[in-house]
Structure 1
Amino acid sequence: MTKPTSVASRLAESLAIVLGTPEVPLRLRAWDGSEAGPEGAPVVEFRSRRALRRMLWSPGQLGLSRAYVSGDIEAPGDIFGSFAALSSAGKFAETGPFRPLTAREKWSLLRAAVALGALGPNPAPPPEEAKITRLGRRHSRRRDAAAISHHYDVGNEFYALVLGPSMVYSCAVWNDEETGLDAAQDAKLDLVCRKLGLRPGMRVLDVGCGWGSFALHAAQRYGVDVVGVTLSTEQASLARKRAAQAGLTERIEIRVQDYRDVDDGPFDAISSIGMSEHVGGEQIGNYVSRLYNLLSPGGRLLNHAISWNAGPISPDPDSFIPRYVFPDGEMLSLAHMISALEAGGFEVLDVEALRRHYALTLRAWVRNLEEHWTDAVQASSEGRARIWRLYMAASALGFESGLTGVNQVLVQRAGGAEPPLRRTEWI
């Protein structure tokens, strides 16, 4: 076997070791201009020796992610193509840990680092990496508040560039692939309102209210009063401003408050859109119990959440998502979520899978980010913009492959009016 001689070919061999594959279906371009890999394959650039050093110290998803966030690695073309190639070769898009390297593989990485002059101390992580694990008990109020702040308090201007005018940060509902993002988000908000059976005069709790988009939609179009709670001060500030601009301050109250501290029920309906992923498996029973007790008899809860579809997993604290995107976030299976809701006393009325819709939504967000790249970097940092590009592109591929899903589960508390015989209220 001919040993690799160019810098790029040595990098290709090293990356194949990390991914656990015989070869990598990428065209690698090294810092010296050399290239290796199939002609016409997606290009990934190793811009400095530090990228290899990060792989040596953290030979898995974390090392590769740190290299991308810091700019040591670049995907200059179609980022979806590059990440799809990585995913097909290894486990880059999965949330579980990479397989451990053997002693022989570690020795091969070390030899490559020596040959390429990449030996040195472990490079400092990019400043955007979360330090949440130092803040006490997992899913305590303090730690949850810190985790939410890490993800959401990165600048309302940055999110506006990514999300567009709707300011909705959850899966949209598309009639077809040509539907615009704003129209798809409007359709999702209206679908939730219909599923909850909203009528004028009802009192609604929006758990994890974000920038107030659902509250505005429900108050404007359905005449309800909404209490929105979030742990993000920046979200709350903009949500209040939007409510004031719409003349809805008498109908919409936005609080910086943990849902566990809401004590002024009952509510006629509760929406939880993209929030329960922050609750955690150990706390999901308490979450269900708390919302059940806040509902009036016969009241409905709509739980919209991402699910993990690929079997049991143990969250890996050294993977990209918990380190950079959602500290302490957990994806539960649909079966786990429904079981918790039923165990908490709810009756399931409807389940709707929206997996393909989230892939379309994420691709639209990536387009927004890339089209407004310079402004997004100025509104946050280059590292933050790179994190969101990586996270959203990899997530889109996860939904397209079926590793992850997203589901709206509509449930009702016993008592009050009977549910409809058919889903005519919301289809």
Structure 2
Amino acid sequence: MPDAALRLKSLLDQLLGAPLPLRIHAWDGSEAGPPGAPTLVVRNRRALRRLLWKPGELGLARAWVAGDVTVRGDLYAVLDLIAGLLWERRDDARTLTEALRDPDVRAAVSGLVRMAGPPLPPAPPREEVRRRGHLHTKRSDRRAISHHYDVGNDFYEIVLGPSMVYSCAYWATPDGTLEDAQRDKLELVSRKLGLTPGQRLLDVGCGWGSMAIHAAREHGVSVVGITLSQEQAAYARKRVADEGLTDRVEIRVQDYRDVTDGPYDAISSIGMAEHVGAERYLDYARDLYALLKPDGRLLNHQIARRPQLDESTYSVDEFIDAYVFPDGELAPIGSTVTQLERAGFEVRDVESLREHYALTLRRWVANLEAQWVRGVRLTSPGRARVWRLYMAACALAFEHNRIGVNQVLAVRTPESGASGIPLRARTWN
């Protein structure tokens, strides 16, 4: 009688020191666990070998990307339960080292080894990044950006929809359309920057050109948009031409460190600063400060993590670093504000859009799931699984306040002290 699921659940219960809150469906067709609970489908023994060789998040991620494990039912419900096991363990929960001192746990691990079969570790899925060289050089940043953004413009059209905006939308109501929410976000940025006809805007990390086009079309500014992605730049240039805005919008494949044609009246940096890195963040802020004219404004839209009691213990998310944003780093909002001010900026407003990003990510997941077959065809099964898992997990992280996203408005205030910010700033006039 098939019993792999029952054996696996019993072993995992012993390892966790508590009943596994998931139902398991194993490769031999057997099932075990709470009836009606979200189900983790373990398709083969190779999944166990991945977990044994890389216990925790990276092993699970490799099994998911390779298709060795999947879920049956609500993906968000499964991820919520797994988060409780991997990322939100109680302070009094025993560590793996402590657990392995328990003879029953050592027996459970031995049982997993026997169930897993051949001891050799499976090769990581081909979608996993192999890190080379130093972090955040111009070369390594180009490589990291290419990994994430050069997946294929057609694939991103499925996920992002017609707006082609790959950052947090700004929702009036949860049941609004993604396109309206993204248009409202671009308009919010434009109003915070105080854009008026004839000004020059630098859009750092311009993506597929949406902010540049909106600012030029709706506010009459001249825009330079820069990206490190060749595919994004080609797509953005075509959109600019189709809108008849080639006289007002220039799209460059260029590193922000190489921009020398300031001063600009305003700079937008939307979802780009996460790629900069903690060691280079002050230089990033100083570079943008130098590119602004006196009283020029910067709108820095950036994901933030929660601060640690001991910042020396912080480590990057293994799954996201290996499969999604290589070399990406998140900082607490307090650190970001401090670095901007150290560079010379006067920070005038900080607005949290955490709940807005959760809504945005859930819409992106729904878009991908609705066109799953086409999405797989445009990329690969593994790449599509990466994006589905990453976006769903991030939606939950925003909902549970594990991460946030903030718009920071900063000004290069002149010596006179005249910032140009209205007295009632939240009107954004």
Distance 2:202 2:107 in 1: 56
Secondary structure in structure 2 of the residue aligned to 1:116:
helix
Match of 1:183 among 169, 180, 186: 180
Distance 2:14 2:118 in 1: 17
Call closer, same or farther: CA 1:325–1:362 in 2, change over 3 Å: same
Letter in 1 for 2:20: V
Secondary structure in structure 2 of the residue aligned to 1:183:
helix
Shift of 1:188: 0.3
Q: Which residue of 2 aligns with 1:79?
A: 75
Q: Which residue of 2 aligns with 1:171?
A: 168
Q: Which residue of 1 aligns with 2:244?
A: 247
Distance 2:164 2:95 in 1: 38
The answer as to 2:354 corresponding to 1:352 is: no
Call closer, same or farther: CA 1:73–1:256 in 2, change over 3 Å: same
Letter in 2 for 1:414: T
Call closer, same or farther: CA 1:118–1:310 in 2, change over 3 Å: farther
Secondary structure in structure 2 of the residue aligned to 1:44:
strand
Distance 2:293 2:5 in 1: 64
Distance 2:346 2:6 in 1: 58
Shift of 1:99: 5.1
Q: Which residue of 2 aligns with 1:382?
A: 381
Call closer, same or farther: CA 1:187–1:36 in 2, change over 3 Å: same
Call closer, same or farther: CA 1:305–1:160 in 2, change over 3 Å: same
Secondary structure in structure 1 of the residue aligned to 2:151:
coil
Shift of 1:393: 0.6
Secondary structure in structure 2 of the residue aligned to 1:227:
strand
Call closer, same or farther: CA 1:109–1:384 in 2, change over 3 Å: farther
Q: Deviations over 1:205-264 (max 9, x none)?
A: 000000000001000000001101111111111000100110111111111111001011
The TM-score with structure 1 as length reference comes to: 0.93
* 1:333-344 paired onto structure 2 within 5 Å: 333-344=332-343
Q: Would you say the 8 A contact 2:411–2:419 is kept in 1?
A: no
Q: Which residue of 2 aligns with 1:156?
A: 153
The size of the alignment, in residue pairs, is 416
Q: Would you say the 8 A contact 1:24–1:86 is kept in 2?
A: no
Match of 2:38 among 36, 42, 46: 42
Distance 2:250 2:95 in 1: 48
Distance 2:14 2:157 in 1: 40
Call closer, same or farther: CA 1:424–1:54 in 2, change over 3 Å: closer
Letter in 2 for 1:375: R
Secondary structure in structure 1 of the residue aligned to 2:232:
helix
Q: Which residue of 1 aligns with 2:279?
A: 282
Match of 1:55 among 48, 51, 57: 51
Q: Would you say the 8 A contact 2:46–2:116 is kept in 1?
A: no
Distance 1:241 1:56 in 2: 48
Call closer, same or farther: CA 1:229–1:82 in 2, change over 3 Å: same
* 1:4-403 paired onto structure 2 within 5 Å: 6-16=3-13, 20=16, 22-91=18-87, 100-101=96-97, 102-104=99-101, 107-108=106-107, 110-131=109-130, 133-134=131-132, 136-311=133-308, 312=311, 314=313, 316=315, 319-403=318-402
Letter in 2 for 1:28: I
Shift of 1:113: 3.1
Q: Deviations over 1:138-162 (max 9, x none)?
A: 1111111111111111100111100
Distance 1:39 1:250 in 2: 63
Q: Deviations over 1:98-144 (max 9, x none)?
A: 9544545784454223442523311011100011x21x111111111
Call closer, same or farther: CA 1:31–1:348 in 2, change over 3 Å: same
Shift of 1:310: 4.8
Letter in 1 for 2:72: P
Q: Would you say the 8 A contact 1:86–1:92 is kept in 2?
A: no
Letter in 1 for 2:292: L
Distance 1:89 1:65 in 2: 14
Letter in 1 for 2:80: A
Distance 1:224 1:99 in 2: 56
Letter in 2 for 1:295: L
Call closer, same or farther: CA 1:15–1:140 in 2, change over 3 Å: farther
Shift of 1:17: 6.2
Call closer, same or farther: CA 1:130–1:246 in 2, change over 3 Å: same
Shift of 1:318: 7.4
The answer as to 2:416 corresponding to 1:419 is: no
| Residues 82-91 or 203-212, more deviating | 82-91
Q: Would you say the 8 A contact 1:16–1:22 is kept in 2?
A: yes
The TM-score with structure 2 as length reference comes to: 0.93
Shift of 1:92: 7.8
Distance 2:336 2:156 in 1: 29
Shift of 1:41: 0.8
Call closer, same or farther: CA 1:337–1:56 in 2, change over 3 Å: same
Identity, % of aligned positions? 54
Call closer, same or farther: CA 1:173–1:15 in 2, change over 3 Å: farther
| Aligned CA-pair RMSD | 2.0
Shift of 1:313: 6.5
Q: Deviations over 1:22-56 (max 9, x none)?
A: 12211111011111111111111000000001011
Distance 1:399 1:214 in 2: 24
Q: Would you say the 8 A contact 1:113–1:119 is kept in 2?
A: no
Distance 2:12 2:225 in 1: 46
Q: Deviations over 1:315-341 (max 9, x none)?
A: 546710100001110111000001111
Q: Deviations over 1:258-297 (max 9, x none)?
A: 1001011000000000000000111110010000000000
Q: Deviations over 1:38-80 (max 9, x none)?
A: 1111111000000001011111111010000100001122110
Distance 1:342 1:176 in 2: 34
Distance 1:266 1:15 in 2: 60
Shift of 1:343: 1.1
Unpaired runs of 5+ residues, structure 2, are: none
